[in-house]
Each structure stands twice: as structure tokens, then as C-alpha cells.
Amino acid sequence: MDLDSLDSVRKGAQVFLTKSQGKLNVVIGNAGIMATPYTLTKDGFESQFGTCHLAHFLLFHLLKPALLASATQDYPSRYVSVSSSGHSYGTVNLDDLNYKSTPYNEWLAYGQAKTANIWMANSIERHYGAQNLHATSLHPGGIFENSGLDKFIPAEMKAALLGDENLMRIFKSSAQGAATSVYAAVSRE
């Protein structure tokens, strides 16, 4: 599934629903990009907002009937939105999602998408929690290995991060970061 294309998301959801016979208890919205140069998705949205949020939003709504149908009191369904501490970079500028009137800043764009993910999880919980479909958002921690998210971070910034022993102590491995999402998906809490 290519999250840069809403048509691909629609097709991917349909394939999944057909193969799963409409059964689904957990969705983890994790795929994303970070701090990219300004580009647009195939549908004309700023790439980080389109890929990190709108594609997840559409996927959730396409899979929502299966999540609701599969949910029970004993085994509720869950939507886990992988956000980031990057949400603190700012809020969502609904009047200029594509940066037509505002100078593009790759970190603000990333934060905007991650804030929207938090809002979405909160909204899902409010609207569907009583129907045993719960949602949460999380920051998996700083992960600096094999995530691919550092693709657009300048080499000098990467070198500075890797050279900071104090900072490197708080970074997590990919497995530790994934454990946060898995816990949110299956914990009884």
C-alpha cells in the first residue's frame, strides 16, 4: 500500500477486508515520513500531512466497519496512532495545509501531521469507545536505527546526534519502539 496515494489506500483496504472476511481487531497507524522537502502526494496534499495523517485517516474509516463488527466487551478493537513528540512543534493550520500562504518548514509540517494523528485518536475514542472500539496515540520514543525516518536529515545533524552520548542514551532500538505500539494494541489497560 502506497500511503502517498489515497487510491492505493482504498485498494489495500479492500484487499485486506476481502482476505480477512471483514474481521479485524487492531490497526496500528505507524507508516510515515519525516522532515521531507516540500512535495505533494499523488492527490495534491503536502506529503507529510497526506502520508502521515490523511492516508491513516482514510484507512481507519475504510476499516472501521470491520473493527466495530469484530469488537466485543472482552476483546475490544483498537486503533493505535503512532504520533511523535514532534506534535509539540505547533498546531494544525487548517487554512493552509499545503503551505500556499506560509513558508514551508519541514519540521512544522511533520508536527502538524502528528498533531492531527493525536486529534484523530481522541475523536475515535470519543465516538466509538462505548462500542468497544478504542483508540490511543503514542510517541514510541526516539528511534535512530533502521527506521528510515532520518532519510532527509542533513548528514551534519545526524553526526551531531550520534555524537551526543547523553542523547544517544535516551534513544530506543527499533524493537523497543515497536514494543510501545504492541503494548498499546493488546494491553488490557
Indicate which residues carry an active-site annotation: 83, 110, 114
DSSP class of residue 87 equals G
43, 124 Cβ separation under 8 angstroms: no
Instruction: Give strand ranges (E) for 86-141.
Output: 133-138
77, 133 Cβ separation under 8 angstroms: yes
77, 67 Cβ separation under 8 angstroms: yes
Contacts of 79 by beta carbon, 8 Å cutoff, 6+ apart: 26, 27, 29, 60, 67, 121, 124, 133, 134, 135, 136
